[in-house]
Structure 1
Amino acid sequence: MFTTRPELVGDFGMVASTHWLASATGMSVLERGGNAADAAVAAGFVLQVVEPHLNGPGGDVPILLFDPEDEQVHVVCGQGTAPAAATGEALAALGLDIVPGTGFLPNVVPGSFGAWLLLLERWGTWSVRDVLEPAIHYADKGHPLLGRVSSALETVADMFRTHWPTSAATWLPGGRIPEAGSHFTNPVLAATYRRIVDESEAAGGTREQRIRAARDAWYKGFVADAIGTYCGGTEVMDTSGTPHRGLLTADDLAAWEPAVEEPVTFDYHGHTVCKTGPWGQGPVFLQQLALLEGYDLAAMGPGSADWVHTVIEAGKLAFADREAWYGDPRFTDVPLGDLLSRPYADERRQLITDTASLELRPGAPGGRAPRLPHYPDYPDGPATAGAGEPTVAAGAGEPTVAASGEVRGDTCHLDVADSGGMMISATPSGGWLQSSPTVPGLGFCLSTRGQMFWVEQGLPNSLRPGARPRTTLTPSFALRDGKPWLAFGTPGGDFQDQWTLHFFLNVVHGGMNLQEAVDFPEFHTTHMPNSFYPRDTHPGRILLEDRHDPAVVAELRRRGHLADTGDSWSLGHVSAVAREDGWLKAAANPRGMQGYAVGR
Structure 2
Amino acid sequence: MRKFYLIVLLLLSWNVNGQGLPGLGAGTTPTNKPILHGKDWVAITGKPLGASAGAAIFQQGGNAVDAACAMIAATSTMWDVLSWGGETQALIYNPNTKKVIAINALGYAPTGATVEFYKSQGMDYPPQYGPLAATTPGTPGGIMTMLAEYGTMSLEQILKPSMDLAKGYPIEAQTANAMESQKARIKQWSYSKKIFLPHLGEEREAPSPGEIFVQEDLYQMLSKLVEAEKKALAEGKSRKEAIYAAYDRFYKGDIAKEIVRGTREQGGLFTEEDLANWKVKIEEPLHVNYKGIDVYKLQEWTQGPALLQSLNILENFDLKSMGYNSAKYIHTVYQAMNLAFADRDFYYGDPAFVKSPMKGLLSKEYAKERAKLIGDRNDPNITAGDPYPFQGETNPYLDLLNKNKEAIAFRNPEQINTKLDTEFIDNFQKGTTSVEAVDAEGWVVSVTPSGGWIPAVVAGNTGVGLSQRMQSFVLDENLNPYNLPEPGKRPRVTLTPSLAMKDGKPLLAFAVQGGDSQDQNLLQLFLNMVEFGMNVQESVEAPNFNSYQMQSSFGDHEVRPGAIVLRNDSPDWVNKELASKGYSIELWNKTSGPINAIWFDWKHGTFWGGSSDYGDDYGIAW
TM-score by length of 2: 0.89
Contact 1:57 1:444 (C-alpha < 8 Å) held by counterparts:
yes
Q: Which moved more, 1:422-431 or 1:192-201?
A: 192-201
- Whole-Å separation in 1 of the counterparts to 2:569 and 2:45: 24
Amino acid at match of 1:474: T
Residues 520 and 370 of structure 1: is their aligned pair in 2 closer, same or farther, counting only changes over 3 Å?
A: farther
Shift of 1:370: 7.3
- Whole-Å separation in 2 of the counterparts to 1:371 and 1:315: 22
Amino acid at match of 1:8: L
- Whole-Å separation in 1 of the counterparts to 2:411 and 2:269: 31
- The corresponding residue for 1:586 is 609
1:452 aligns with 2:472: yes
- The corresponding residue for 1:171 is 196
Aligned positions of 1:185-584 closer than 5 A: 185-204=214-233, 205-234=237-266, 245-367=267-389, 368=395, 369=398, 371=400, 384-389=415-420, 392=423, 399=426, 410-434=431-455, 436-457=456-477, 459-567=481-589, 569-580=590-601, 581=603, 582-584=605-607
Residues 84 and 372 of structure 1: is their aligned pair in 2 closer, same or farther, counting only changes over 3 Å?
A: farther
- The corresponding residue for 1:82 is 109
Residues 439 and 416 of structure 1: is their aligned pair in 2 closer, same or farther, counting only changes over 3 Å?
A: same
User: Percent same amino acid at aligned positions?
Assistant: 34
Shift of 1:382: 6.4
Shift of 1:225: 0.6
Shift of 1:374: 9.1
Q: Secondary structure at the match of 2:534?
A: coil
Contact 1:58 1:111 (C-alpha < 8 Å) held by counterparts:
yes
Contact 1:15 1:416 (C-alpha < 8 Å) held by counterparts:
yes
- Whole-Å separation in 1 of the counterparts to 2:425 and 2:152: 34
- The corresponding residue for 1:99 is 126
Shift of 1:440: 2.2
1:13 aligns with 2:41: yes
Q: Secondary structure at the match of 1:590?
A: coil
Shift of 1:288: 0.1
Residues 172 and 373 of structure 1: is their aligned pair in 2 closer, same or farther, counting only changes over 3 Å?
A: farther
Amino acid at match of 1:427: T
Shift of 1:344: 0.8
- Whole-Å separation in 1 of the counterparts to 2:399 and 2:385: 7
Q: Secondary structure at the match of 1:474?
A: coil
Contact 1:373 1:456 (C-alpha < 8 Å) held by counterparts:
no
Shift of 1:500: 0.5
Shift of 1:385: 4.0
Shift of 1:444: 2.3
Q: Secondary structure at the match of 2:509?
A: strand
- The corresponding residue for 2:155 is 128
Amino acid at match of 1:173: P
Q: Secondary structure at the match of 1:432?
A: coil
- Whole-Å separation in 2 of the counterparts to 1:233 and 1:10: 49
Shift of 1:222: 1.8
Q: Secondary structure at the match of 1:533?
A: coil
Shift of 1:308: 1.0
- The corresponding residue for 1:38 is 66
Shift of 1:473: 0.2
Q: Secondary structure at the match of 1:501?
A: helix
Contact 2:53 2:70 (C-alpha < 8 Å) held by counterparts:
yes
Shift of 1:570: 4.5
| Match of residue 59, structure 1, among 83, 86, 103 | 86
- Whole-Å separation in 2 of the counterparts to 1:413 and 1:542: 24
- Whole-Å separation in 2 of the counterparts to 1:391 and 1:274: 33
Contact 1:323 1:372 (C-alpha < 8 Å) held by counterparts:
no
Amino acid at match of 2:595: V
Contact 2:166 2:218 (C-alpha < 8 Å) held by counterparts:
yes
- The corresponding residue for 1:180 is 209
Structure 2: unaligned runs, 5 residues or longer? 1-28, 390-394
Q: Secondary structure at the match of 1:352?
A: coil
Structure 1: unaligned runs, 5 residues or longer? 235-244, 403-408
Q: Secondary structure at the match of 1:479?
A: strand
Amino acid at match of 2:209: A
Q: Secondary structure at the match of 1:303?
A: coil
Residues 373 and 24 of structure 1: is their aligned pair in 2 closer, same or farther, counting only changes over 3 Å?
A: farther
Shift of 1:274: 0.4
Amino acid at match of 2:364: R
Amino acid at match of 1:208: K
Q: Secondary structure at the match of 1:267?
A: strand
Shift of 1:398: 10
Over 3 Å off, 4+ runs: 370-375, 378-385, 388-392, 397-402
- The corresponding residue for 1:405 is none
- Whole-Å separation in 1 of the counterparts to 2:411 and 2:257: 43
Q: Which moved more, 1:379-388 or 1:26-35?
A: 379-388
Shift of 1:72: 0.0
The CA deviation string for residues 282-322 of structure 1, in whole angstroms up to 9 with x for no partner, is 10000000000011111122221111111101000000000
- Whole-Å separation in 1 of the counterparts to 2:493 and 2:108: 11
- Whole-Å separation in 2 of the counterparts to 1:333 and 1:515: 38
Shift of 1:154: 2.3
Contact 1:373 1:454 (C-alpha < 8 Å) held by counterparts:
no
- Whole-Å separation in 1 of the counterparts to 2:138 and 2:425: 17
- The corresponding residue for 2:172 is 146
Shift of 1:6: 2.2
Amino acid at match of 1:355: R
Amino acid at match of 1:230: G
Contact 2:565 2:591 (C-alpha < 8 Å) held by counterparts:
no
Shift of 1:552: 1.4
The CA deviation string for residues 334-359 of structure 1, in whole angstroms up to 9 with x for no partner, is 11111111111111111101111112
- Whole-Å separation in 2 of the counterparts to 1:511 and 1:277: 29
- Whole-Å separation in 1 of the counterparts to 2:426 and 2:195: 20
Shift of 1:203: 2.3
- Whole-Å separation in 1 of the counterparts to 2:303 and 2:71: 24
1:117 aligns with 2:144: yes
Contact 1:324 1:370 (C-alpha < 8 Å) held by counterparts:
no
The CA deviation string for residues 530-579 of structure 1, in whole angstroms up to 9 with x for no partner, is 00112111111000111222221222111111111012x25411101122
Contact 1:390 1:536 (C-alpha < 8 Å) held by counterparts:
no
Q: Which moved more, 1:361-370 or 1:491-500?
A: 361-370
